Amino acid sequence: MIKPFGASIYHLFVLIKHLKITTMSTMKNNFKDQDHLYSSWSFSKLMAFFFLLISISYLFYSLRFVSHSFDCDQTPHIPTITHRISSNTPSEEESTPPFEEVTNISHIVFGIGASAKLWKQRKEYIKLWWRPNEMRGVVWLEQKVKAEPQDENFLPPLRISSDTSRFKYKNPKGHRSAIRISRIVSETLRLGMEDVRWFVMGDDDTVFVAENLVKVLQKYDHNQFYYIGSSSESHLQNIYFSYNMAYGGGGFAISYPLAVALEKMQDRCIQRYPGLYGSDDRIQACMAELGVPLTKEKGFHQFDVYGNLLGLLAAHPVTPLVSLHHLDVVEPIFPNVSRVQALKRLKGPMKLDPAGLIQQSICYDKARTWTISVSWGYAVQIFRGTFSAREMEMPARTFLNWYKRADYTAYPFNTRPVSRHVCQKPFVYYLSKAVYDEGANETASQYVRVQQNPDCKWKMEDPTQIKVVEVYKKPDPHLWDKAPRRNCCRVRRTKKKGTMVIDVGECREDEVVEL
């Protein structure tokens, strides 16, 4: 920052002018009071001297500033640095690491925190995403559970966490199992598995989308310190715990060298925070001591909400869906089926095109003035009338706040209300099946309406006539290798009665969401 010399001189002039006026006005006032003339006169002199002193110091200050600016202009140190860099370059080239393959699923080791009490139900969630022959990881329990022989082939190996009774736990609301669970990172590291790049933590009710997890981790250098995850959907939770914390249920990833650094200090670190509530805030406290910030990836979902996830999922941020959590707390993601059955249905599209799973696209049926929002592999919504893209990409509040008394907008992202008007209620079509046509290299997914919509008296065409929505989309394994952009959708002309046909794919040149 260079302050011109002229400006300082100008300030000095203003100051002197101001000084003159002040002294004169002081004198004028004092003439009225003859008795105090002498003392006032010396007072004025004192004031003048005082201002002169200030002016001189100001002048010196300005000059110092100007000479300092000269130093900046000359920048005598920079050439030295440049020189050092250039002299170092050859040796750095020599030590370039050999070409490394990109991260794949076998580089990840999962550490799942589970409890014996809930194991019978919760293991069903793990079975949904666990691939025994491809994945590595361990489920950590506090005590032995009854082994079911058929489970062995569908679940990670089970282990019992080491004793943590020597650690202090002083949170009145939480449970001391938090200490055990936060030590899973270190305990998994100590197993000494080879070729590990990332440790990924999750709960027994976390469901991961493996391909997308890999895709996200590929962006980061596993040889450096990374702590990757996401915050809560509840603003209050983030205030009570931390916006800098990766929520454990949503899952988080710790790079190998960071896990090594953590393991060395974690037990000491845990003792310093006996008052914390959970396992994930204990991890965050140690991360703060290590100076490693949270790298936020919005595809990890803690889902600290109640009710219907439709609003959140249908307007998923433009980033790969990595995890789902609190599936016991929210309603099943598809209506009229059990929670596990609903998630099983999602596995169909997950297999065909994981990158595109749940991703939103927005388009209009121009002839009928409907707005259409596709959440690929999950749901299609038809709205009467035209909603802008910026409204449609905002989650509708179909879900409830984690804190029931909280402000209904207390989310760390924008949300929109669910319309109360009968005519503005969306027609929701849920995935019923998804197949892949190899010849066309295209997926065909079908969505049907389960819930009835109320009667509406608008003259506009009525989506009630649409019973089925068919969506065609090419799988796009490279979607996340490109800059993030929502896919585009187009309503296809069709003669099929009661059916709407939609194409989803990369936007064409100049294609925008406009009516």
Ligand X SMILES: *[C@@H]1O[C@H](CO)[C@@H](O)[C@H](O)[C@H]1NC(C)=O
Distance linking the first and last C-alpha atoms of the chain: 49
Q: Nearer to ligand X by C-beta: 275 or 335?
A: 335
Among 263, 391, 461, 476, binds ligand X (CB under 6 A): 476
* Residue span 419-458 as binding mask against ligand X, x where in contact by CB under 6 A, dash where not: ----------------------x--------x--------
φ and ψ at residue 240, rounded to 5 degrees = -65, -45
Alpha helices (H) in 304-388, listed in sequence order: 310-314, 339-352
H helix and E strand count, the chain: 13, 19
Q: How far is the CB of 476 from ligand X (least distance, A)?
A: 5
Smallest separation, CB 260 to ligand X (Å)? 19
- The answer to whether the CB of 230 falls within 8 A of the CB of 247 is yes
Cβ nearer to ligand X, comparing 293 with 335: 335
Q: Which of positions 176-205 make contact with ligand X (CB under 6 A)?
A: none
Amino acid symbol at 373: S
Least CB distance from residue 150 to ligand X, whole Å?
A: 26
Length of the chain: 515
Does the footprint of ligand X cover residue 2 (CB under 6 A)?
no
Helix (H) or strand (E) holding 60: helix 37-74
Evaluate whether 405 touches 375 at the Cβ level (below 8 Å): no
The one among 30, 40, 44, 104 contacting ligand X by CB under 6 A: 104
CB of 156 to ligand X, least distance (A): 17
In the window 302-331, what residues touch ligand X (CB under 6 A)?
none
Q: What angle do CA 175, 180, 113 make, to 5 degrees?
A: 95
Binding residues for ligand X, rule CB under 6 A, total 13
Q: Whose Cβ is closer to ligand X: residue 265's or residue 507's?
A: 507
Question: To which residue do tokens 């993030």 refer?
Answer: 484
Among 4, 157, 275, 477, contact with ligand X (rule: CB under 6 A): 477
**Closest CB 280 distance from ligand X, rounded Å:** 29
* Binding segment toward ligand X, per CB under 6 A, in 24-32, 88-96, 97-105, 382-390: 97-105
480 neighbors 356 (Cβ within 8 angstroms): no
What does each C-alpha distance from 98 to 92, 95, 101, 197, 268 come to in angstroms?
13, 9, 10, 16, 37
Give the range of 139-147, 166-174, 238-246, 476-484 binding ligand X by CB under 6 A: 476-484
Alpha helices (runs of H) in 134-276, residue ranges in sequence order = 177-182, 184-189, 210-218, 235-240, 256-271
Q: How far is the CB of 440 from ligand X (least distance, A)?
A: 9
Q: Which of 101, 163, 509, 514 binds ligand X (CB under 6 A)?
A: 101
Check residue 336 for interaction with ligand X (CB under 6 A): yes
Structure tokens at 280: 């994930």
The amino acid at residue 490 is R
Nearer to ligand X (CB atom), residue 119 or residue 334: 334
Q: Which of residues 138-157 bind ligand X (CB under 6 A)?
A: none
DSSP type of residue 203: E
**Which of 402, 472 has the CB closer to ligand X?**
472
Tokens of 146: 């009854």
Q: Which is nearer to ligand X, 143 or 338 (CB)?
A: 338
Partners of 113 in the β-ladder: 140, 203
Q: Which of 272, 425, 474, 486 binds ligand X (CB under 6 A)?
A: 474
Contact residues toward ligand X (CB under 6 A) are: 101, 104-106, 335-336, 441, 450, 474-478
